[in-house]
Amino acid sequence: MDFSLTAADRQQWEAARRLASEHLSPVVPAVGCERAGFDQAGWRRLGEFGLFQADLRDPGSSFRRAAHLLEACGTGGADRGLLFAAGAHIFGCLWPLIQLGTPAQHTHWVPRLGTGEQIGALAITEPEAGSAISALATTVTSEGDEVILSGAKTLVTNAPVAHVMLLIAKEFPQRGSLGLSAFLVPTHTPGVTIRPLATVGLDGAPAGDVELNEVRLPRAARLGPAGGGLGVLLSAMQAERTAILAGFLGAAEFDLARCHQYLKNRRRPGEQTSLADHQSVQHTLAEIRCRLEAARWLLYRGLWEVTHGTDRIAWPAMVKKTVSEAVYDCAHKIQCLYAGAGWRNIDRSATAVQDTLAILSASGTTDVQLNTIASQLSKTLVPLT
Ligand SMILES: Cc1cc2nc3c(=O)[nH]c(=O)nc-3n(C[C@H](O)[C@H](O)[C@H](O)COP(=O)(O)OP(=O)(O)OC[C@H]3O[C@@H](n4cnc5c(N)ncnc54)[C@H](O)[C@@H]3O)c2cc1C
């Protein structure tokens, strides 16, 4: 297993990092928690850069490339909200479309989504069904050449700015989770109403409630076979759980470097040494460094497993659990190191805690990841001879 980047990939990595430091860093004042909102100009720049590009002949490479470039943008100081919005678009919508779409769906959607000219979202969660997929209640009925969707979705990242949603609904209620189907729903379709949600954290990734009131779509809007929604959902979850937080790891490194600099520059009056010279402070910084590095290697292993390996269920869950907990924990430790300045949101250290707290639940909570990992133990543990 070789996780090293080629020279060309490394060049792109550096270019993404530069793009982020020059154009994608939040311009909100350092002090205060002003809401930044969705960065349209930043999104356009990510599209022009080629972040969303997908090579249909080699989707695995496109998948890994997107994750590494998000990580690079994070190390350049890009806003986590923008990175999360980009991740939801790529891994929640574009990736399942590439894996399971028909040639006609590829021809229609991939150029639009691959340039970022149009924005995608993944709509699974419902007001009464978050962790429990089997409880999804959005219905599908067929009439001639059309399908009709009715129901409600919530907490959908990108919904207020999206052009298309990959939406999971229940077509065959008697079959449980095997009765789900997936649809590509243009957000301008009559009967679709989207309301922005007020959230705490990830201000740059707008979330919304979605109402579906007898939404009529051609049968060709179905992604995968009738009753194949679980496969689509798994494809999206594999990708999201593995890769959506790559940018957050990069962002945590950026925050660690800034915190280190802050502590090196901060001296008590009359003292030669800085706060960074205290061993306890150094140990906390070193702990953060270890935690992030361990999470990164698991992320890279997960990217490899999803594109080369055989187990695409437990690895994504392990990556999601480990990376989300690591970046939240590190953001919290960093805010504590800033102390009073952290409360004042210096270097956006308080914003980082809010942003990383939010992603503990996205793509399934830690409890749900543990359920998934536990369900695969008999297949993934080393055999005892
Ligand atoms: C930042 C963010 C972005 C999101 N983006 C999207 C999106 O783009 N599209 C989308 O469809 N959804 C999205 N979601 C929704 C997300 O998938 C759900 O929040 C998540 O699945 C949990 O569902 P819930 O919030 O309804 O919690 P609940 O299911 O109500 O869970 C509440 C608590 O019970 C625990 N719990 C529930 N079931 C079990 C179980 N079986 N075993 C053990 N513990 C359990 C949970 O761990 C949690 O602690 C997003 C959420 C967040 C926070």
Is 367 near ligand 1, meaning CB less than 6 Å away? yes
CB atoms inside a 10 Å sphere around CB 198: 6
The confidence band for 255, taking pLDDT boundaries of 50, 70 and 90, is: very high
Q: Is the whole-model pTM more than 0.85?
A: yes
How many C-beta neighbours within 10 Å does residue 238 have? 24
What residues form DSSP beta bridges with 149? Answer: 140, 215
Report whether pLDDT(272) > 90.
no
As a whole number, the mean pLDDT across the chain is 95
Beta bridge mates, 215? 149
Nearest atom of ligand 1 to the alpha carbon of 201: 1
Atom of ligand 1 nearest to the CA of 129: 26
Tell me how far the alpha carbon of residue 198 is from its chain's centroid: 19
Query: Which one has a higher pLDDT value, 53 or 2?
Result: 53
Overall average pLDDT of the 195-207 stretch: 96
DSSP-assigned states of every residue in 227-269: T-HHHHHHHHHHHHHHHTTHHHHHHHHHHHHHHHHHHHH-B-T
Ligand 1 centroid–CA 356 distance in Å is 15
Question: Is the model's pLDDT at 263 over the cut of 70?
Answer: yes
The DSSP bridge partners found for residue 166 are 122, 184
* Residue appearing with tokens 């962790």: 131
pLDDT, one tens digit per residue, over 276-323 is 999 999 999 999 999 999 999 999 999 999 999 888 899 999 999 999
Instruction: Quick: pLDDT tens for 164-177.
Output: 999 999 999 999 99
User: How far, CA to CA in Å, does 357 sit from each of 4, 12, 43?
Assistant: 30, 30, 23
Report the percentage of the chain scoring pLDDT > 90. 90
How do the residues of the chain divide into helix, strand and coil, expressed in percent and rounded to 5?
Answer: 55, 15, 30
- 240 classed as catalytic: yes
pLDDT tens-digit map of 77-125: 999 999 999 999 999 999 999 999 999 999 999 999 999 999 999 999 9
Ligand 1, atom nearest to 159 Cα: 8
Which of 71, 126, 171, 240 is catalytic? The answer is 240
Measured in Å, residue 365 CA sits from the centre of ligand 1 at: 6
Tell me: the pLDDT tens digits for 61-86? 999 999 999 999 999 999 999 999 99
Domains detected in the chain: 7-119 (1.10.540.10), 121-227 (2.40.110.10), 233-380 (1.20.140.10)
Whether the predicted pLDDT of 27 surpasses 60: no
Ligand 1: which residue has its CA nearest to atom 18?
A: 130
Average pLDDT over residues 239-260: 98
